[in-house]
Chain A
Amino acid sequence: MKNMPNLLEIKNLKTHFVSKKNTVPAVDGVSLSIKQGETVAIVGESGCGKSITSLSIMQLVPEPNGEIVGGTILFNGKNLLECTEEEMCHVRGKDVSMIFQDPMTSLNPVLTIGEQLMEVVVHHQKKSKQAAYERAISLLKMVGFSNPEDIMKNYPHRLSGGMRQRVMIAMAMICNPSLLIADEPTTALDVTIQAQIIELMKELNDQYATSILLITHDLGIVSEMAEKVVVMYAGQVVEEASVEELFSNALHPYTEGLIRSIPVMEGERKELYSIPGNVPSPEDFPDHCRFATRCSKAFARCFQGQPNLIQQTETQFVRCFLYEE
């Protein structure tokens, strides 16, 4: 997989929210890349900019305040930021599709599941209704429904949370996209249903070589699904590593703290490590290292300037002065 070209390459993405009072740099210079068939996870706490990064790829940043002010997003070599709205409409749902945390709010309550699924096929692939119907049925089967014909006739409110999320995945996969963006896909689901969805997404990734950009706050899911992990804090990437490196040798004090602060399912129960303080709000990001005020290893330098992302191994990068020469 190492020699594969990048499917998606984000370089120095900056998405800001502008209000009369101030400018909020929600995403501040994020770079990341995904290869064909690869699963990349973005982890971080609320407000770190992980969801805005994914919305920026789709150019669905909330208008009128949100604006992509810099950077490039190359998808198959084409810069999505230079595309017109019409061109983007052909990318969304066809080449890149997205599933969200809350499947109820992302499905149309007044259309049946069938109508919504078929619409995607008719719109993007210009197929007949009959062909679209067959495609929808086969996708519903693929995501594990035993009675797809009945599901097609149902409205979203008649399905449970897990079933709705499977419908969303079917809808996202219906045009064989090369990239699936999953924004907290299992957060609203129960743990046994979450297990079903994780297994399903892994299967899709194996069978169809669909690349997955997984956005989550749950490190457990990251370790089960991802190959590469990008840790975000306060609008910036603070660490990028392979999943093995991240869990065996996290370099950034924030990543380390995050891993140590989750209660474990096996072994001894010790007092939890906790990172003091709160995530800074984007209005008042400090000029120095954004984690310095909460960092247990901070020294004088950390309060004087912003560290750069430094390469440590072939796949591991860290934004911390501790690793600067």
Chain B
Amino acid sequence: MVYSQTKTNMEKQDHLKSLLQVVNLKKYFPMKQGVLLKTKQYIKAVDDISLIINKGETVGIVGESGCGKSTLGRTLIRLHKPTEGKIFYKGQDITSASEDTLRKSIRKEIQMIFQDPYASLNPRKTLKKTIIEPLHAHRIFLKSIDRLNRVKELLETVGLDAIHMNRYPHEFSGGQRQRIGIARALALQPEVVIADEAVSALDVSIQAQIINLLQRLQTDLGLTYIFISHDLSVVRHISDRVAVMYLGKMMELAATEQLYGNPAHPYTQALLSAVPTTKGSKKERIVLQGELPNASSPPSGCVFHTRCPMAMSICKEVVPDVKAIQPNHYVACHLSDI
């Protein structure tokens, strides 16, 4: 059964209520080839994605490598300039805002945590300098003693000892470095934190520490998270809603319980069944054949039809629309029309 709420209706929703909203967002990367470096092809990293993020919630974005989940995260905060579509932050259109305007508005309010905490920290800066830098850049706390106090406060928040303030990144373990990355992201009291594979490089026991820390910070500071990860069990644990991406397209979006308990898209079903679990119930696994197609020449129609166990003839020709099969459960699949 198909509810009347379609993609166009989603656009009409009041974007003033939402914190961050994207409408038909596209990000294409040109591929230059030949002697004259002419652009012949585009990689459609993000292709027509609409998404609303409300205050205080955690939206998980899952998908395999190359599905465009990181590009989506970066385009959301204008680290990439979108090819098409609109981005609204607190009702304000930031799609083509100048870098100057961005610096005054969203750069402070949306922060990012990266996968590799070592690569994202400057090896020649001490912990103190790393965390003070955003305070300097945005001219917060004019007195140095205030800044120092803020650093101490932040370190305490993320569970690091302030006496290690003068150490360099290499002197910390992986988990501690990720805590530093979190402290730096929190320095400017952001509204939204985008975590791009923030716990993927960590060991199991450390991963649990960081997940708990992120959840505690969300309750304490009222943060909104966009949690990008390939790890389905971590995303299930932390997210309120989950979006599944495949080759730049959004395949399914639903509340976490709904998506994991009752996945509607064949790709989501295969993805979920592929996760090895420790629980005894050995379910029948849907093993997808083949690999992710090349993003520069994605399949016609539904991009998933080449690997889909339930593909029909229409799937090769027509791109399925994102439809609501239930309130707040969106799927892009022709099967939901039947």
Minimum C-beta distance from B160 to chain A (A): 12
The reply to whether A257 and B205 form a contact with Cβ atoms under 8 Å apart is yes
Minimum C-beta distance from A290 to chain B (A): 14
Chain B contact-residue range equals 35 or more
The reply to whether B279 and A217 form a contact with Cβ atoms under 8 Å apart is no
B295 interface residue, CB < 8 Å from A? Answer: no
Complex interface: chain A residues within 8 A of B260 (CB): 265-266
Minimum C-beta distance from B34 to chain A (A): 20
B71 interface residue, CB < 8 Å from A? Answer: no
- Say whether, besides A199-B287, A223-B278, A266-B279, A192 and B271 are in contact (CB < 8 Å): yes
Please report the C-alpha to C-alpha distance between residue A279 and residue B260 in the assembled complex, in whole angstroms.
33
A89 interface residue, CB < 8 Å from B? Answer: no
The reply to whether A274 and B279 form a contact with Cβ atoms under 8 Å apart is no
The reply to whether B270 and A278 form a contact with Cβ atoms under 8 Å apart is no
Q: Which of B276-332 contact A (CB under 8 A)?
A: 276-281, 285, 287-288, 291-292
- Say whether, besides A190-B65, A199-B285, A265-B232, A278 and B206 are in contact (CB < 8 Å): yes
Q: Which of B136-181 contact A (CB under 8 A)?
A: 173-176
Interface residues of chain B: helix, strand, loop or mixed (majority):
helix
Residue among B204, B230, B232, B288 making CB contact with A261, cutoff 8 Å: B204
The reply to whether B279 and A259 form a contact with Cβ atoms under 8 Å apart is no
- Say whether, besides A190-B230, A265-B260, A278-B173, A220 and B278 are in contact (CB < 8 Å): yes
A260-280 Cβ-contact flags toward B at 8 Å (1 or 0): 011111100101111110110
A32 interface residue, CB < 8 Å from B? Answer: no
Please report the C-alpha to C-alpha distance between residue A259 and residue B291 in the assembled complex, in whole angstroms.
31
Chain A contact-residue range equals 35 or more
A110 interface residue, CB < 8 Å from B? Answer: no
Please report the C-alpha to C-alpha distance between residue A274 and residue B205 in the assembled complex, in whole angstroms.
6
B252-292 Cβ-contact flags toward A at 8 Å (1 or 0): 00001000100000000011111111111100010110011
Minimum C-beta distance from A198 to chain B (A): 7
A122 interface residue, CB < 8 Å from B? Answer: no
The reply to whether B276 and A221 form a contact with Cβ atoms under 8 Å apart is yes
Q: Which of A216-264 contact B (CB under 8 A)?
A: 217-224, 247, 257-259, 261-264
A45 interface residue, CB < 8 Å from B? Answer: yes
Complex interface: chain A residues within 8 A of B270 (CB): 192
Residue among B205, B256, B275, B292 making CB contact with A275, cutoff 8 Å: B205
- Say whether, besides A264-B279, A274-B209, A195 and B274 are in contact (CB < 8 Å): yes
Residue among A193, A194, A220, A258 making CB contact with B205, cutoff 8 Å: A258
Please report the C-alpha to C-alpha distance between residue A272 and residue B233 in the assembled complex, in whole angstroms.
12
Minimum C-beta distance from A307 to chain B (A): 20
Residue on B nearest A246 in the bound complex, by CB:
B278
Of listed B203, B205, B211, B287, residue having the most chain A CB within 10 A: B205
The reply to whether B204 and A258 form a contact with Cβ atoms under 8 Å apart is yes
The reply to whether A263 and B64 form a contact with Cβ atoms under 8 Å apart is no
The reply to whether A263 and B233 form a contact with Cβ atoms under 8 Å apart is yes
Complex interface: chain A residues within 8 A of B54 (CB): none
A162 interface residue, CB < 8 Å from B? Answer: yes
Please report the C-alpha to C-alpha distance between residue A18 and residue B152 in the assembled complex, in whole angstroms.
39
The reply to whether B215 and A271 form a contact with Cβ atoms under 8 Å apart is yes
Please report the C-alpha to C-alpha distance between residue A218 and residue B278 in the assembled complex, in whole angstroms.
10
Of listed A194, A198, A217, A261, residue having the most chain B CB within 10 A: A261
A196 interface residue, CB < 8 Å from B? Answer: yes
A191 interface residue, CB < 8 Å from B? Answer: yes
B237 interface residue, CB < 8 Å from A? Answer: yes
The reply to whether A162 and B291 form a contact with Cβ atoms under 8 Å apart is yes
Q: Which of B188-208 contact A (CB under 8 A)?
A: 203-208
A138 interface residue, CB < 8 Å from B? Answer: no
The reply to whether A269 and B236 form a contact with Cβ atoms under 8 Å apart is yes
The reply to whether A191 and B277 form a contact with Cβ atoms under 8 Å apart is no
Residue on B nearest A163 in the bound complex, by CB:
B291
A46 interface residue, CB < 8 Å from B? Answer: yes
Please report the C-alpha to C-alpha distance between residue A166 and residue B64 in the assembled complex, in whole angstroms.
18
Complex interface: chain B residues within 8 A of A262 (CB): 204, 208, 233, 278
The reply to whether A190 and B205 form a contact with Cβ atoms under 8 Å apart is no
Residue on A nearest B205 in the bound complex, by CB:
A275
7 A–B contacts, CB within 8 A, in A order: A198-B276, A218-B276, A220-B233, A220-B276, A221-B276, A262-B278, A263-B237
Q: Which 5 A-B pairs have the closest CB atoms?
A: A220-B276, A263-B237, A261-B208, A274-B208, A195-B274
A196-B287, A223-B279 known; 4 new pairs, CB 8 Å cut-off, are A46-B203, A191-B230, A193-B291, A224-B277
